A and B are shown apart, each in its own frame.
Chain A
């Protein structure tokens, strides 16, 4: 191959959110989702040209729902084995993310950059 590539996938705040909407996105999203810049601009900011960008929010939503469904199926056994805190924490965190996606506040993006 020639040149160097950087491929980055992350959950980020949806484009153009400001004020209370952005605050809500930060509350619903995972920790450290509060980057000021978009993933694309961060990749460009470290001297890579963006070769590809994919919005994979739909896959992300599917994965969250799958996780929440499995939590329900195994809830009793998980509570016995892992404890209430782990189970409740998992449900709360994933439910928040799902709300964020459904409200259009969170997205997941994959960016591929090529070194300049």
Chain B
């Protein structure tokens, strides 16, 4: 499989992932398994630790690369007051996360549908980048 075919297949696979478990019982299953771990494998305790070591402050810019629905960048931004920019390839993931992030942060969230290898943002723009389970 060439690079662009692999990229398309990966994008489609991630898009489909976000279309699963969206029925009422599927959502209940997802939320129940979330618990302390939200979605994905990052736990709340791990994010709290990230908040401590990153030392972000209000006004800093945080890029959540491969953000999915916005976890864990949303919690880091909530705890620190940093401005969050969420980037991911599957548009469905960004759509699903939009309302929750805006409610969580009580402010508009910038979401960008883009590939992390060709970010539409200049160098040196961010104080920190977080990146959870994108490579697996």
Chain A interface (Cβ within 8 Å of chain B)?
A: 1, 4-12, 29-33, 35, 39, 51-52, 54, 56, 59-60, 63, 66-67, 70-71, 74, 77-78, 80-82, 86, 108, 110, 112
Minimum Cβ distance to chain B for residue A20 (Å): 21
**24 A-B pairs, CB-CB below 8 angstroms?**
A1-B54, A4-B124, A5-B127, A6-B128, A6-B130, A6-B131, A7-B50, A8-B135, A10-B133, A12-B136, A29-B136, A52-B53, A54-B46, A54-B49, A59-B41, A59-B46, A63-B33, A66-B35, A67-B33, A70-B33, A74-B25, A74-B28, A81-B25, A82-B21
Q: Tell me which of B41, B45, B129 contacts A7 (CB under 8 A).
A: B129
Contact with A along B34-68 (1 / 0, CB 8 A): 01010001110110011001111100100000000
Apart from A9-B133, A82-B25, list 16 A-B contacts with CB within 8 A.
Answer: A7-B54, A9-B131, A11-B136, A31-B136, A32-B10, A39-B135, A59-B41, A59-B43, A59-B45, A59-B46, A63-B33, A66-B35, A70-B29, A77-B25, A80-B25, A86-B26
Q: Are A82 and B23 in contact (CB under 8 A)?
A: yes
Q: Are A1 and B136 in contact (CB under 8 A)?
A: no
Q: How far is the CA of A14 from the CA of B112 in the complex (A)?
A: 33
Q: Are B53 and A112 in contact (CB under 8 A)?
A: yes
Q: How far is the CA of A6 from the CA of B26 in the complex (A)?
A: 33
Chain B interface (Cβ within 8 Å of chain A)?
A: 10, 13, 20-21, 23-26, 28-29, 32-33, 35, 37, 41-43, 45-46, 49-50, 53-57, 60, 124, 126-136
Q: Are B128 and A70 in contact (CB under 8 A)?
A: no
Minimum Cβ distance to chain B for residue A82 (Å): 5
Residues on A with C-beta less than 8 A from B132 are: 8-10
- By beta carbon, the residue of chain A nearest B131 is A8
Q: Are B126 and A4 in contact (CB under 8 A)?
A: yes
Q: How far is the CA of A109 from the CA of B60 in the complex (A)?
A: 25
